[in-house]
Amino acid sequence: MTLTELIQRIQHSFGKGGSKDEAKSRLLLVLQDDRLGLTAEEKEALRQDILEAIRKHLKIDAEGFTMEFVSSPTDQNKMHVSAPVQVGRGPANFSK
């Protein structure tokens, strides 16, 4: 038995690491979309609008910009936006 196998077996014995974790995360993701009822185009438009809105005020790295919808038992239906802000020394980097 390799160490990886042993770890997997320990995880399984606690009901973890099985295929249900994949089922749960896939469901949470797909249900977010189902519940929002937004088309792919509408989501992209929203993404662009938020990206532009932030860019008006801050220098951000568009590559690293992400927008995702998450659901958990405690906070249902939240939108998480992550924007890597490029901050230098001195005054804030306003692009205007």
Partner 1 sequence: MSGRAIVVTSGKGGVGKTTATANIGLGLASQGKKVVLIDGDIGLRNLDLILGVENRVVYNIVDVVSGRCQPRQALVKDKRISSLFLMPASQIDEKDAINTDQMRDLSAQLKEEFDFVLIDCPAGIEQGFRNTVAAADEAIVVTTPDVSPVRDADRVIGLLQSSLGEPQLIINRMSMDMVKRGDMLDQQDVLDILAVRLLGIVPEDEAVVIAGNKGAPVVLNGGSPSGDAYGRIARRILGEDVPIPELNGHNSLAKRLGRILFGR
Residues lying near partner 1 in the complex (CB under 8 A) are found at: 6, 9-21, 23-24, 26-28, 30-31, 34-35, 71-73, 76
Three-state SS string over 17-55 comes to CCCHHHHHHHHHHHHHHHHHCCCHHHHHHHHHHHHHHHH
Q: How far is the CB of 36 from partner 1 (least distance, A)?
A: 11
Radius of gyration of the chain (CA): 20
| Shortest distance (Å) from residue 21 CB to partner 1 | 7
Residue 48 CB, shortest distance to partner 1, in Å, is 28
